[in-house]
A and B are shown apart, each in its own frame.
Chain A
């Protein structure tokens, strides 16, 4: 039937011919457009010669034939991508034809052309129902086929009943179609055709006497088992038995394909076994034998056989592991991977990726092939190899592998793939980063390559890492920060003028890091950094405003650190005071105001390196009490809480909500309390383009700017937690990674010492690869006899970098060309692949010194204990700041020292509200050029005026503190029962003796209980409003310029302690 042209009209034949000969898409389109016009005409002209004509029947026949051809042509038009919707109705008509062949054509066109929501589909339901009830097997088949292709969710109930009945039909052709159709219905409408219905039918159909019915039921079993395998576990013996029979050629030979008996059915069964045997030792044990058997028998050297073998490998990798089977799978994989066929190589690499995670030893022998695959021009193979690399990543080869993935990312344009790889780099880098500097470099590169595909959290983690460091040593952290700064300055300088083309996420990170730590740069001055940032911020390129905010915040921080505002910065800031973005505008204006009117507090608004400090938040806003009292005294109406205020619950702190309204808060999701919100801000630290919250009460004018920040960072709370984890991960693997390098005994002890070592236990426990490698001078190394080319050696070196940590027993090949395989060389090679050393492939010469350096490095990494809880006290960080500040112990910072934020809620906040900047002790002021201009004096007038009330007694809510005359013993009793504590540490030049201190207490309104001269301690007691007891304990340690005062204020009312402590602080100072 060479052309089959006999059945075609001349017209159609010509059309096909013309299309076949057309030279271009345009020509083809023209031909089809003509065809569409012709078909439309046909549809409109009546086709039959008229009623009563003698040749009516004959004409009817031809018209039907023509109608069929019309549809086929329509299908052809659609297939070439043109619209044929004008003729769909004809297809629907045709489906109702009594002629089976026409009916099939009608259905075919409908299923190929009608979109899922096309209303014509409903017109076909009736016809399908009729066909399903037909006595003709072929009609039934046509109906079932149409039903699977055309049915939509709401049509399922209309046909499912009929189809269900057909499962017991006499014809095997019907039965095999019906089971698939039922599955389709189940997918569309699980409530109509339930899983239970289907499972019950499947059990019968699996044992059908006809192999093709059994075969098609396997499809459905597979799909259902993938959702939930439990109900199929008891089918294992049946499946095993079927597989066995197939292996014995008990099926009709029609099912053989290239001498392999029923390969598709075999594969399906093996696959189902994999699904039901997954992570189930008992279920798995029942299939070990048959899998081995199946794999052996299928290995007959044809693709169909390999396909079965490959399916077995996949199943072996998923079920409960069996060493013998794994060996067999490993063997099969080796044969695939060594095959010349790319397809088989691909399967080998895929298979290897499946079993390598738990069994790295199988990868050992394939180092070079894997390297070849990685270089292969076929992208599919490359991708699979990258996938394999990802799965075999360990602390040793992480650098090499990450580099490869990044390289691949650079060249790739496939978004889907880029997304996957980006996630993988993040995950690998977080899990196995050999050190923090590497992590920062890698993530920065990832930002460059993948840009905004990287999750915001990653940037957040990176910034937190830089801000908090590892906590191991302040010096190391500073070095880390400096490295980051140099890296980013370098990045900006490498791309003059085009830096704004960098991805947003990278720009924001750069801006934040430079703003926080720009002063650390050794290659350029603070001013240079500032210039770079200004240049960046002033570029007119289309940058998102959020990015600009990062940049401007950085500029603000640098300006306040420099203490002077250079003209370029001033221009940029000024420019953005006219920004269309109101938030940006506000920030700039506020900064300008601060700069011109109160420059001396800039250093507090933008504290140096304080992004990781904890903030104490006073949820009661008690520092406002004085103001409120005053207002009320002036006749203002007191605030009345609205009755219906559940909207505000989010903004209340937990304690307030607990004792406040009667609402039960617990069942709800944990609310974002202000504390958490502030923590988030802290995490963002200076990165928040808003003025850092340190010295500002929540919502005091900056509420507007904090909101977008949170939105920006995603869920900041979660991010924070994350970071902690990440930091831990970094901490431990370092120790672990370092472990293997030193000679054996040290290695083992280290591995045990660090619980984190288990994370890479696969490679380090027992079969420590390096030990094996180091001691293997005489072991049978793989190097082939003939001399190697330079390329080969290069490849081997790469392989060594890659397979470091993977291969127990096999030594990495020698690094240097022509080096004798002496024990020393072998050891050098081994150390070349050790974790910390691993700057990719070590250069051929000089392996020996490398060892030295590595060991040193490792000892440095070895010592530190796992990271302590993140920067608890601000003191630490402050002290380390390389500012002249280091000298005097910085009294103004006292507020941030309050290490007990919950109990001293007012401590952190009230301080800045109160006029903190009592003149010079703040060392930063010395740097302040504005100070010289006398601006300082101006600004101070106001706060000092408010200070004058300091001589009066302390008042709380308008009630003065009165003396409480008690004895020391009574004081002791009360001391224990006072829940609220506010500790205070003040460096004072005014109050230097115990007596002076006691006088201050007395002035405040407290009663002097006792002065203990021997220890320089004193206690006082007072009472407010007859209900709240106030106890004060002070210790005076004279020394240096004045005295250090340690004061503890306790009270029965937590809201009193904070304000009183603040009050005393101002008096004492």
Chain B
């Protein structure tokens, strides 16, 4: 199961963060503060890694699967016994979705339309599970919604 999905740039600015399992609040840290802390930590981990390394990091009692596209890091946190490669491809499928939607996506598209990125994600994953893997199906739903605007 997916715990969270993160999109960060190289400087560590969060472009999108979706939590399916909120973190435990620790001591005086609220859940929100804890989220911020974890996001910063994830950024530190993924940016420190060599390109040749695996795209997986064991992190506490779960695993981070990350992938870098230009200056953007996509990170998914999943349970330890989940299939790493499958989630690596999940990230790629998401990027393909963005690419189709924005036709040749770049970081700016995501910056200026991050709420749309959330909509796409919501049609792709739900409650920590991959809900739909057909690209056409997902994009159709998002476009349906746009018509209503």
Contact = CB atoms under 8 A, between A and B. Distances in A.
B134 to A, nearest CB: 4
Contact of B112 (A16, A81, A176): A16
B115 A108 contact: yes
Contact of B127 (A19, A83, A183, A303): A183
- In this complex, the member of B15, B84, B89, B131 whose beta carbon has the largest number of chain A beta carbons within 10 angstroms is B89
A177 B108 CA distance: 31
A723 B133 CA distance: 54
B99 interface: no
Contacts of A181: 126-127
Nearest to B55: A343
B58 A383 contact: yes
In this complex, the member of A1, A81, A180, A345 whose beta carbon has the largest number of chain B beta carbons within 10 angstroms is: A81
B1 interface: yes
B65 to A, nearest CB: 10
Residue of B31, B83, B84, B102 with most chain A CB atoms under a 10 A cut-off: B83
Contacts of A381: 53-54
A557 interface: no
Contacts of A148: 126-127
Contact of A307 (B14, B83, B102, B126): B83
Interface string A857-891: 00000000000000000000000000000000000
A346 B84 contact: yes
Contact of B131 (A79, A176, A252, A346): A176
Contacts, number: 172
A525 B18 CA distance: 66
Interface in A213-241: 215-216, 219-220, 223
A380 B13 CA distance: 25
A439 interface: no
Contact of B130 (A138, A254, A264, A346): A264
A3 B112 contact: yes
A56 interface: no
Interface in B106-132: 108-109, 111-116, 118-119, 122, 126-127, 129-132
Interface in A250-269: 252, 254-255, 257, 262-265, 267
A485 interface: no
Contacts of A183: 127
A715 interface: no
B26 interface: no
B45 to A, nearest CB: 10
B115 A342 contact: no
A100 interface: yes
Nearest to B37: A81
B30 interface: yes
Interface string B85-111: 110111011000000001100001101
Contacts of A255: 133-134
Contact of B137 (A8, A76, A254): A254
Given A116-B31, A303-B85, A342 B53 contact: yes
B70 interface: no
Contacts of B28: none
A173 B86 CA distance: 23
Nearest to B81: A314
Contacts of B88: 303, 307, 343
Contacts of A105: 115
Given A176-B131, A303-B89, A4 B109 contact: yes
A536 to B, nearest CB: 34
B127 A212 contact: no
A417 B62 CA distance: 11
A311 B83 contact: yes
B104 to A, nearest CB: 9
Contacts of A271: 83
Contact of B134 (A13, A76, A212): A212
Contacts of B131: 176-177, 180, 212, 216, 219
Nearest to B83: A311
A72 B111 CA distance: 12
B85 A184 contact: no
Nearest to A172: B137
A311 B144 contact: no
A297 B57 CA distance: 29
Most buried by A among B18, B31, B103, B132: B132
A596 to B, nearest CB: 51
Contacts of A116: 22, 31
Contacts of B109: 1-4
Nearest to A344: B85
Contacts of B22: 115-116
Contacts of A2: 108-109
B145 A79 contact: no
B122 to A, nearest CB: 6
A347 interface: yes
The number of chain A residues touching the other chain, given as a range, is: 35 or more
A83 B35 CA distance: 12
A149 B84 CA distance: 25
A1007 interface: no
Interface string A333-361: 00000000011011100000000000000
Contacts of B39: 81
Contacts of B115: 72, 75, 105, 108
A20 interface: yes
B135 interface: yes
A919 B126 CA distance: 85
Interface string B70-89: 00000000000001111011
Contacts of A108: 115, 118-119, 122
A115 B32 contact: yes
Given A76-B114, A180-B127, A307-B85, A254 B141 contact: no
Interface string B18-38: 110010000000111000100
Contacts of B52: 342, 378
B85 A347 contact: yes
B31 A115 contact: yes
B84 to A, nearest CB: 7
A219 B126 CA distance: 11
A31 to B, nearest CB: 12
B132 to A, nearest CB: 5
A99 interface: yes
B110 to A, nearest CB: 10
A216 B132 contact: yes
Contacts of A19: 13
Contacts of B113: 4
B50 A377 contact: yes
A339 B8 CA distance: 30
A252 B134 contact: yes
Interface string A25-62: 00010000000000000000000000000000000000
A346 B39 CA distance: 25
Contacts of B16: 79
Most buried by B among A19, A141, A184, A254: A254
A652 to B, nearest CB: 44
Interface string A83-105: 10000000000000001110011
A377 to B, nearest CB: 7
B144 A4 contact: no
A982 interface: no
A257 B93 contact: yes
Contacts of A347: 84-85
A271 B137 CA distance: 24
Contacts of A944: none
Given A148-B126, A343-B55, A80 B13 contact: yes
A263 B89 contact: yes
26 contacts: A4-B113, A8-B112, A79-B114, A80-B13, A100-B148, A108-B119, A112-B118, A149-B127, A173-B141, A180-B127, A180-B131, A212-B137, A219-B130, A223-B1, A254-B136, A263-B89, A263-B133, A264-B133, A271-B83, A304-B89, A346-B56, A346-B84, A347-B84, A378-B52, A378-B54, A380-B54
Q: Which 4 A-B pairs have the closest CB atoms?
A: A307-B85, A219-B129, A378-B53, A254-B134
